[in-house]
A and B are shown apart, each in its own frame.
Chain A
Amino acid sequence: MRCPAAWTAWICCLLLWHPPLYAIDSIRLQAGHWTFDNTTAKQFSLSVDLTEQGLQLSAAAEKLDLPAPIGSLHNLQLACSSFKLNAGRWQCESGTAAFRHQQLGEQDFRFSIKAGTDKNDYQLTLNGLKLAESRISLEADVTDSAWTVSVSADRVSLTALRDFLPLMLSESQLALVADWDYQGQVKLEGRFEGKAGQLQAFSLNWQASDLSFSNVSGTQVAESVALNGQTNGRLQQAQWHWQLELGSNKGQAYSEPIFLDLKQYPLSLTASGQLATDFKSFKVEQARLEQGQVLAANATLNWQNQQIQSLHIVTGPADLSKLYPIWLQPFVAGSAAAKLETSGRLSMTFDWQQSDYQLLLDFNEAMLSDKEGRYSLQNLNGQLGWSQTDQSLNSSLAWRSAKLFEIELGAAAIQAHSANNRLVLDESLRLPVLDGSLEISNFSLDNQSGRLQWQFAGLLTPISMQRLTSALDWPPLEGKLSGVIPTVTYQDEEMKIDGALQVKVFDGTTIIRDLRMTTPFGRLPQLYANVDIHNLDLALLTNAFDFGRITGKIEGHVHHLRLSNWEPVRFDARLATPQENPGKRRISQRAVDNLTELGGGPTGMVSRSFLGFFDDFSYQKMGLSCELDNEVCEMAGIEEAEQGYYIVKGGGGLPPWINVIGYNRRVDWSELIARLLAIRESPGPVIE
Chain B
Amino acid sequence: MKLFKWLTGTVSGLMLVSCVTINIYFPAAAAEKAADRIIEDVWGPGTRPGEGTEPEAEPAQEQSSAIEAGHRNIAINMLNWLISPAAAQADININSPAINELKADMKERHNQLEPFYNSGGIGLTEDGLITVRDAKAIPLKDRNKVNALVADENKDRKALYAEIARANGHPEWQDDIRQTFAKRWISNAAKGWWYQQGGSWKQK
Q: Which residues of A contact B (CB under 8 A)?
A: 214, 217-219, 221, 223, 252-254, 256-257, 259, 261, 329-330, 333-334, 338, 519, 522-524, 526, 562, 564-565, 567, 569, 629-631
Contact = CB atoms under 8 A, between A and B. Distances in A.
A121 B16 CA distance: 99
Given A214-B136, A524-B162, A569-B167, A631 B144 contact: no
Interface string B88-131: 00000101111001100000000000000000000000000000
Shortest 5 CB-CB distances between A and B: which pairs? A334-B151, A218-B135, A218-B136, A523-B159, A333-B151
B140 interface: yes
17 contacts: A253-B140, A256-B135, A256-B143, A259-B141, A259-B143, A329-B148, A330-B147, A333-B151, A334-B151, A334-B155, A338-B151, A338-B152, A523-B156, A565-B98, A629-B169, A630-B93, A630-B95
B36 interface: no
Contact of A252 (B93, B141, B147): B141
Contact of B166 (A221, A333, A564): A564
Contacts of A333: 144, 147-148, 150-151
Contacts of A522: 155, 159
A671 to B, nearest CB: 14
A371 to B, nearest CB: 12
A565 B147 contact: no
A223 B148 CA distance: 22
Contact of A338 (B93, B97, B148, B167): B148
Contact of B167 (A218, A259, A519, A630): A630
Given A218-B135, A524-B162, A562-B166, A259 B140 contact: yes
Given A329-B148, A631-B96, 18 more contacts: A218-B135, A221-B140, A254-B140, A259-B144, A329-B144, A333-B151, A523-B102, A523-B155, A524-B102, A524-B163, A562-B166, A564-B97, A565-B97, A567-B98, A569-B96, A569-B98, A630-B95, A630-B167
A565 B144 contact: no
Interface in B136-180: 136, 140-141, 143-144, 147-148, 150-152, 154-156, 158-159, 162-163, 166-169
B62 interface: no
B134 interface: yes
Contacts, number: 79
A325 to B, nearest CB: 9
B143 A254 contact: yes
A91 B22 CA distance: 102
Contacts of A217: 135
Given A218-B135, A523-B102, A629-B169, A261 B96 contact: no
Contacts of B140: 221, 223, 252-254, 259
Contacts of A261: 141
Contacts of B150: 333
Chain B interface extent, by class: 20 to 34
Contacts of A519: 159
B19 to A, nearest CB: 20
A398 B2 CA distance: 73
Interface string B51-80: 000000000000000000000000000000
B116 to A, nearest CB: 13
A220 B134 CA distance: 13
Contacts of B167: 564, 569, 630
Contacts of B148: 329, 333-334, 338
Contacts of B93: 630-631
Contacts of B143: 254, 256-257, 259
A526 B144 CA distance: 29
B23 to A, nearest CB: 17
A629 B93 CA distance: 11
* Residue of B95, B97, B152, B158 with highest tally of chain A CB at under 10 A: B97
A254 B96 CA distance: 41
Contact of B101 (A252, A330, A565): A565
A181 B66 CA distance: 58
A562 B159 CA distance: 15
Contacts of A564: 96-98, 163, 166-167
Contacts of A523: 102, 155-156, 158-159
Nearest to B154: A334
Contacts of B159: 519, 522-524
Given A254-B140, A259-B140, A562-B166, A218 B98 contact: no
Contacts of A219: 135
A334 B163 contact: no
Contacts of A569: 96-98, 167
A523 B109 CA distance: 14
Nearest to A330: B144
A552 B143 CA distance: 64
Interface string B179-200: 0000000000000000000000
A251 to B, nearest CB: 10
A329 B169 CA distance: 37
Contacts of A567: 97-98
Interface string B10-23: 00000000000000
A334 B154 CA distance: 8
A31 to B, nearest CB: 56
A558 to B, nearest CB: 18
Contacts of A256: 135, 143
A565 B144 CA distance: 27
Most buried by B among A253, A334, A523, A564: A523
B27 to A, nearest CB: 15
A519 B154 CA distance: 14
A219 B144 CA distance: 12
Contacts of B136: 214, 218
Contacts of A629: 169
B54 to A, nearest CB: 30
B166 to A, nearest CB: 7
A524 B152 CA distance: 12
A223 B136 CA distance: 12
A545 B168 CA distance: 33
A123 B147 CA distance: 58
A218 B139 CA distance: 11
A562 B169 CA distance: 11
Given A218-B134, A562-B166, A630-B167, A257 B96 contact: no
A252 B135 CA distance: 15
B98 A524 contact: yes
* Residue picked from B102, B150, B167, most chain A C-beta under 10 Å: B167
Contacts of B163: 524, 564
Nearest to A524: B159
Contacts of A218: 134-136
Contacts of A252: 140-141
B117 to A, nearest CB: 17
B135 to A, nearest CB: 4
B102 A257 contact: no
A341 to B, nearest CB: 15
Contacts of A562: 166
A631 B155 contact: no
A459 to B, nearest CB: 32
A630 B94 CA distance: 9
Contacts of A329: 144, 148
B133 to A, nearest CB: 11
A241 B78 CA distance: 87
Contacts of B156: 523
Contacts of A334: 148, 151-152, 154-155
A361 B155 CA distance: 28
Contacts of A526: 166
A36 B101 CA distance: 85
A629 B86 CA distance: 13
A83 to B, nearest CB: 57
Nearest to B169: A629
B106 to A, nearest CB: 11
